[in-house]
Amino acid sequence: MASNPAAPVNPGKVIAVHVAYESRAAQRGRKPAQPSYFLKTNSSVSGSEGTVERPAGTELLAFEGEIALVIGEPARNVPLAEAWDHVAAVTASNDLGIYDYRAPDKGSNLRSKGRDGYTPIGPELIDARTVDPAGLRVRTWVNGELVQEDTTGEAQLIFPLAQFVADLSQHMTLNTGDVILTGTPAGSSVMVPGDVVEVEVDAPTAPGAPSSGRLRTTVVEGPGDFDPALGTTPQVDDAQREDAWGSREAAGLGPTPAQDAADDAADLPQALRNKLMAAPTAGLSAQLRKRGLNQVVIENVYPGAPGTKMVGTAKTLRFLPGREDLFKSHGGGYNAQKRAFDAVRPGEVLVIEARNEPGSGTLGDILALRAKANGAAGVVTDGGVRDSAAVLEIGLPVFSQTSNPAVLGRKHVPWESDVAVACGNATVIPGDVIVGDDDGVVVIPRALAEEVADEALAKEHEDSWVFDRVAEGNPVDGLFPPTGEWKQKFQEWLAENPAPNHGADSPADLAGNLPTNSAEGVGDGTERN
């Protein structure tokens, strides 16, 4: 049996919060509108320097470093403004859980988190009257490596700590000594026998920087002789593995079918990418128009540097019009904008819907640097760009309406990503092909990209011959586009001068095959200026 040293408190009940940190919500991909809770047994409480058992035959014992609130004066129906007065102390806790029982528990967490020793608390209590509840910090180490760190500021917590006291007191009396576990930040993962996990809570900016000290727990192998005649035995699947480890990658799992499809969309074949790099947007737009697609130009966006060419598949980000209450709930912390820039993949273009509103920046140098590091093909926004000189220096292709020094919250609320968006009066869905050059940006349905590129390049090759004939002094009548005698001459020239191999498999193969007058733009012979 695992040892169970005494904790500095002996609670009548332990109440745990499901999700409280912005970072954890972002990791899980869902953010609660209101707090929710579950109960842990008081027999799960233990102290520091103890051991915790992972039952034999199970695999997913996970740590969750948390801040524990210890109730002082009993609380019943207390308002939010008075709730912190009912907290006597704060300390470190580890909301241990075995995910092998999470699905059978169906949300109660009774068996997954209620086992003996699964709520270490301590080692020391910090007087709650000496600290600001918005100035606490929680850190977790596994085998000496820091794996979790977060604070309790407004931007980091979804709900202030005092709200848990006030909310719970509407439904039950919180008695002296009761403990509230206030949720874990991102970074929770799986432990194995032999691992040592340590959790510390401190108030680094408070006088004396009070600390709980490190709450230390060692994982050991325990008996796993569950009797199936008495109840459910442990069960695991890939969904539980992903949640326990924190990601599919950390769990050693391959991508889901949906992720495979997204990867396929993002991964344009190199030959097609080369064709699109060589094809001017004017020519691509003309070919799309031939196919009945007229609303495919992202209007009024321009490259930060002349001569920029951009090709990639769309990842989308949507902003709502600025509203103070929504920005307070969605604009701080690890918001949708930051998550999108963190998640953009190699070869993707992040397309931002800013409602043609240039009155504030929609990205700056730090986010541009992050996208560049991730291998993004570029960014398109129908809003403004902050730090425009620094963004230009980073070298990421960025197309925007203008530069603007104002911060995002002046006009926008970062809302959601990976949805259909309207950017510059064009609809863009994730996976669309995005091509940009000095003329602007066009959106190409993925299924049409190959044929549109081929025909645009063929027309560009023809126009290069026409350009040379006009340069010789010939009038455009009958030449642009070639008809009659001129058409016959072009066909003879084409037989001896086939179009370059823009579909070469490597950029090096492509280097010598760019059109001689690609900067001139390409049309269908009736719309070219």
65-71: strand order across its sheet? 37-40, 14-17, 179-181, 65-71, 87-94, 119-127, 45-46
* DSSP 8-state symbol, 107: T
Helices (H) and strands (E) in the chain, counts: 16, 28
Neighbours of 35 (CB within 10 A): 17
Q: Which of 54, 19, 23 is nearest to 37 (CA)?
A: 19
Distances from the Cα of 318 to the Cα of 422, 430, 447, angstroms: 8, 12, 24
Q: Which of 251, 227, 225, 229 is nearest to 238 (CA)?
A: 251
Q: Work out the angle at residue 209's Cα, subtended by the Cα atoms of residues 205 and 212, and round it to the nearest 5 degrees.
A: 125
Q: Work out the angle at residue 148's Cα, subtended by the Cα atoms of residues 31 and 95, and round it to the nearest 5 degrees.
A: 70
CB 284 within 8 A of CB 434: no
* Residue 252, marked binder: no
CB 93 within 8 A of CB 213: no
* Residue 437, marked binder: no
* DSSP 8-state symbol, 352: E
What contacts 124, CB < 8 A, 6 or more positions away? Answer: 8, 91, 211, 212, 213
* Residue 367, marked binder: yes
* Residue 195, marked binder: no
**Under DSSP, is residue 243 helix (H, G, I), strand (E, B) or coil?**
helix
| 3-state per-residue secondary structure call for 396-421 | CCEEECEECCCCHHHCEEEEEECCCE
Give the relative orientation of helices 365-373 and 336-343 as an angle to the nearest 10 degrees.
30
Which residues face 478 on adjacent strands? Answer: none
User: Whole-angstrom Cα distance, residue 379 to residue 198?
Assistant: 41
* Residue type present at position 333: G
| Pairing state between β 215-222 and 50-55 | parallel
Binding residues are 364-367, 386-387
Binding residues for substrate are 364-367, 386
